[in-house]
Structure 1
């Protein structure tokens, strides 16, 4: 542990492989001779199927198999897709309609899978899909977030999936009744498409009587369990692997219908089957993110201390419950409901609605960006209405250092924090004192300049337990098997370096193996900023077990008592012995002596509590009032991530998160027409930030070590997005405020900003 605090920046070793075209993604590792699968999807948002005739497709050239729901049912595959269900306010279960693997009786969103065609070539599979006869009776598309409309599911005739709440409504109302000031605001959080660089894909094959599914995902154990459940297999008959993965962001964590149908097709045909999504297909079928509207209210006393907070949210689930759809804007939103502010009277009320759109699930942050976006928009609005400085208002309401560990009203226990220190650091790093001069310079060029602040906190999610296994090879190299899954974060570098720091084994001698359910018995995958914290904790436990196992063996070699042997993170030593073997040397000795029991070490560990990364984002924008074009001029982040293993990689994670947050603020938005047709189904219609749109991001840290784990770490994978959304939106509104604009919702595109400026000027 002595070496942990060095926080050495090490470049990612895996980047050489990725940047030279040697990455091994799912489409690169597909078995030779695999058949091609193509998914025939619903062309309409809502309809009753009257005819589904696939016989001509089955007879088409090169076609080996066509699967529909009827074929799956005939094969005994009747289980639906899994989805977590919450409890309603009255204690009843939320709606849990059956989500079939392939459309069953009705079509519920454009892009819903209807049939799978397997052929010798992809072109043959596509041609066969053109021969499928699908007739249907159209139904009105349900798109809004209110009760009523044509029922998407019989289990929710009013289209409300759940009515959930957390907190003491009476106590919260009492705080509002006693308030000197009440601030209210409605905030839209627009729907986005994840657009991972690598689209979803998979292949399946039968190996020695067992099913092997490989897909681009964020872990293998949940898909393994779901494949066994849906396909009526014993889990021991299923192997799941993740090769290199080109971006996940939460979207690639759950199983999707294609994986089950491709797996079944491979089992039926006895040949490998491959499927890879195209970009428009991904936009239609990948889980979307966000999509909610909230009405929020803050109650203040006469001294501008917050005494109550109420949020009423309506969120869009899409056509079905996705794996985590129901818990994102409920349980996960609640994790950081009150952010960094000391308020106990809170009430969160959320209603979820089914609509004839693609399912909504986790997207980088999963509930925490939504909660912080709303709260930090509220804090800026409150400061304006109360006539106080927004930075001072935050400081006035921060949880004080001496209040930790702090029990939040929603049940979370924040272990540690020093929010004022972090904000002071951010104020200096962002040169807030120089903003007035920069604003004046922008005005001289006819531009509007604004500064936005967001102070975020997020909670690490997911399984707090993880496992690690270390194996010494005969050639002197070492393998560490991990239960998480890299989607581009740099895990190969981080895990090898961390193990090296704890053992003295050169990092170049360590390889990281991940994403294979046969090689490590259990793992939590990647999501919720859990990976490095949980995996490093498991590595520490494995190293401790390793040292304990080698100690008696080496004590005998040294001719000393066991309690005389110590390990200094590099070598074993004992008083009176000149034998000082490294772990690699000790493993070689054990191998020579036939002690194979000392060559593999494995342990699981559970974090005692969650950690809470936090920090300040400061965004400056410049708006051209003639065109509405908004440019991000400066961006500063000061994060408290606790102790860092690799600051360089942490900074990279923040950069990516900020880009995704600002992308939603300024560019990204999913559009449907009144019939439920996706209008933003290509990169010609769906805007994302490009390199030229992003500023150089100033990144600094203010370390307050976590007390929730022995490493003092706090996760950092999603923090950039959690903080960026409100900082960007607050900056734009600040720029527009003097022109009469009082509300601005994402995305703040040039057209929208231009319209806001003209509407604001007209209203002034």
Structure 2
């Protein structure tokens, strides 16, 4: 409605409510393909609005020290450094005037990736009132005013040749940004992946972001990507029906092949790797798709309907490009690791510690991961867009060679040996000139007993920075089986199989937990979740758990 001719303007400066209107792809090539197509399949989808519903309600506590002129803010976030950068800009503060502390965060999924207005208000009020000021939302306030997600209207067309191969794609994506622009990530991330897992030679996309009288939308678990995945996969099912071809066969015919990797899709994204058909085959095997017809007959005998859905997907992981780590091996047997990205319940601190322990060969329980305090953590993009392990592991691995080099210098000093005669092997520093050897923890104790030269004055400590702009493209396939009681309409998910190419798995238990959580959130949106607003009055109708349906765990 907001882009209809004559619609009321949310902001006077933008009369048509469209704040972004851009196009991607090769229009001429796409138009030629559609003109030559044997079949064209078209559909319009409305991917509804949802919200993150974190266990921990939005809350913040601010203090102002008049003697030093410094503010302190305690608040949950997806990244303390990012929040600090944005808040000092809003309040006109110097960087050293604001400290943000963001430790245990009870849920995020994008909802906490940007500061809320209350964060700035409690800081302002703390200085004005000369006392600490706290704000905590109620659950109803969170439902009404937490940043929300999804809310995309997309119109998609596929052109096929006579052999059911895709020739081209057209798409028109309209993203509801809400009453103010908090993030355009959902629109931009989805725009690059409209072709999904399929080899589509030509495509055009019009992407628009629109102001409406609703809460702002923000990144929400896999910002923008599930929306476009839903659209292309539903359209593939529709095409299979219209063309009279098995939907798996249609997908198999059009999936990007491994030998095509790296593959640049029709709107410019360069897929680095992927075995899409193998993923689909494995998911169908796990789901026992071959036995579906028999289970469907058995369900029919019980008066039930049984259905099966299948979806391939391609993700993108990139996020904020900069990350930093500071690693210090201390004489007390502790290894401090400062890192800019931080967990919000995913267990990053465990996985990060595993990486460090493996690289420098010390027990994992000795690793102390330090996050969430901007007086200590100076650089970092926080947790979003699947970036944390990729960025953290990379920057840690980048810093370890320098740490080993310093270890060799200190070992040489302790043993009175030439540096070029010192080696680090199997987790120990040694030299053929001595029968003594040290691991990192032992060497830190030795370093504390000797006088180190100026270049080694900080002992076994390094800092490393990394900047990464190239995305990677995780991918997979999901198969869901659902039984419906036609008398009551009650749906019951009876089987769910998922195959995810996650690259190198650092901690399988944590990865499995992420997968289970992702399935639960996807099921939640498909079955129950929706931030619904009465179109006639503008009244939100999902202001509590009585109205907003959520998946539950039964244990």
TM-score normalised by L of structure 1: 0.70
Paired residues of 2:192 and 2:267 also in contact (CA < 8 A):
yes
Structure 1 position 294 matched with structure 2 position 154: yes
Structure 1, unaligned runs of 5 or more: 1-142, 695-764
Name 2:145's counterpart in structure 1. Answer: 285
Q: Is the 8 A contact 1:148 1:159 kept in 2?
A: no
C-alpha deviation, 1:379, in angstroms = 1.3
CA distance in 1, matches of 2:432, 2:268: 51
Distance 1:359 1:146 in 2: 20
3-state SS of 1:691 partner: coil
Displacement of 1:689: 1.0
What secondary structure sits across from 2:29 in the alignment?
helix
CA deviation profile, 1:193-232 (whole Å, cap 9, x unmatched): 2211111111111243211112111111222122222212
Q: What SS is found at the alignment partner of 2:135?
A: strand
Report how far residue 541 of structure 1 moved: 1.2
Q: 2:64 aligns with which of 197, 201, 206?
A: 206
The SS at the match of 1:212 is strand
Query: Which of the numbers 502, 511, 525 marks the counterpart of 2:359?
Result: 502
2:112 alignment partner, SS class: coil
Partner of 2:186: 328
Q: Match of 1:221?
A: 81
Q: Give the distance between the partners of 1:153 and 1:266, measured in 2 at CA.
A: 31
State the shift of 1:548 in Å: 1.4
Matched, 1:389 2:246: yes
Contact 1:537 1:607 in 2 (8 A): no
Q: Which residue of 2 aligns with 1:402?
A: 259
Partner of residue 166 from structure 2, selected from 299, 306, 310: 306
Report the Cα offset of residue 554 of structure 1.
Answer: 1.4
CA RMSD of aligned residues (A): 1.7
Using the TM superposition, give the Cα deviation of residue 250 of structure 1 relative to its aligned residue in structure 2, in angstroms: 0.6
Corresponding residue to 1:184 among 24, 42, 48: 42
Partner of 1:599: 460
| Counterparts in 2 of 1:217 and 1:147: CA distance versus 1, 3 Å | farther
The 8 Å contact of residues 147 and 160 in structure 1, kept in 2 or not, is answered as no
| 2: CA distance, partners of 1:594 / 1:219 | 39
Q: Corresponding residue for 1:485?
A: 342
Describe the shift of the 1:352–1:605 C-alpha distance in structure 2 as closer, same or farther (beyond 3 A): closer
In the alignment, structure 1 residue 676 sits paired with structure 2 residue 538 = yes
Counterpart for residue 5 of structure 1: none
CA distance in 2 between counterparts of 1:657 and 1:591 reads 47
> Deviation of residue 364 (structure 1)?
0.6
- 1:233-254 CA deviation, whole Å, 9 max, x = no partner? 1112111121210001111010
Distance of aligned partners of 1:649 and 1:240 in 2 relative to their CA distance in 1, 3 Å threshold: same
Task: Give the 5 Å matches for 1:507-526.
Answer: 507-526=364-383
Partner of 1:587: 444
1:537 aligned to which of 394, 404, 411? 394
Q: Distance in 2 between matches of 1:390 and 1:691?
A: 32
Gaps of 5+ in 2: none
Determine whether 1:172 maps to 2:30: yes
Question: CA offsets per residue over residues 447-483 of structure 1, 9 Å max, x none?
Answer: 1111111111100021233111112334211211111
Q: Within 5 A, what are the aligned runs for 1:122-201?
A: 146-201=4-59
Match of 1:753 in 2: none
Between the two proteins, the alignment pairs up a number of residues equal to 548
Give the C-alpha shift of residue 569 in structure 1. Answer: 5.2
In the alignment, what sits opposite 2:292?
A: 435
How far off its partner does 1:559 sit?
4.8
Q: 2:100 is paired with a residue of what secondary structure? A: strand
Deviation string 1:737-756 (CA, Å, 9 cap, x unpaired) is: xxxxxxxxxxxxxxxxxxxx
Q: Distance in 1 between matches of 2:3 and 2:225?
A: 21
Asked if residue 263 in structure 1 is aligned to residue 120 in structure 2, the reply is no
Q: Is residue 481 of structure 2 the alignment partner of residue 620 of structure 1?
A: yes
Matched residue, 1:688: 550
Shift >6 Å, 4+ stretches: none
Distance 2:73 2:233 in 1: 43
Kindly indicate whether the alpha-carbon contact (under 8 Å) linking 1:591 and 1:599 is maintained by their aligned counterparts in 2. Answer: no
How far the C-alpha of 1:162 sits from its partner, in A, is 2.7
Which residue in the other structure is 2:104 paired with? 244
Secondary structure of 1:598's aligned partner: coil
Q: Give yes or no for contact 1:449–1:623 (8 Å, CA) kept in 2.
A: yes
1:562 to 419, 435, 449: 419
Distance 1:234 1:629 in 2: 57
Instruction: State the shift of 1:576 in Å.
Output: 5.1
1:147 Cα deviation (Å)?
A: 4.2
Aligned partners of 1:483 and 1:522 also within 8 Å: yes
In the alignment, the residues of structure 1 paired with residue 173 and residue 245 of structure 2 have an alpha-carbon distance, to the nearest angstrom, of: 27
Give the Cα–Cα distance (whole angstroms) in 2 for the partners of residues 449 and 669 of structure 1: 25
Deviation at 1:627, TM superposition (A): 1.2
Task: Summarize deviations over 1:497-540 as a string: whole Å, max 9, x none.
Answer: 11111111111111211011110221111100100110011111
The match for 1:366 is: 223
Conserved? CA contact 1:182–1:298, under 8 Å: yes
Instruction: State the SS of the aligned residue for 1:480.
Output: strand
Residues 709-743 of structure 1 show CA distances to partners (whole Å, capped at 9, x for unaligned) of xxxxxxxxxxxxxxxxxxxxxxxxxxxxxxxxxxx
Structure 2: how far apart are the matches of 1:559 and 1:234? 48
Match of 1:455 in 2: 312
Cα separation, partners in 2 of 1:464 and 1:228, compared to 1, 3 Å: closer
SS of the residue 1:597 aligns to: coil
| Alignment correspondent of 1:66 | none
In structure 1, the partner of 2:197 is 340
For the 8 Å contact 2:168–2:201, the answer to whether it is kept is yes
Work out whether residues 147 and 159 of structure 1, in 8 Å CA contact, stay in contact via their aligned partners in 2.
no
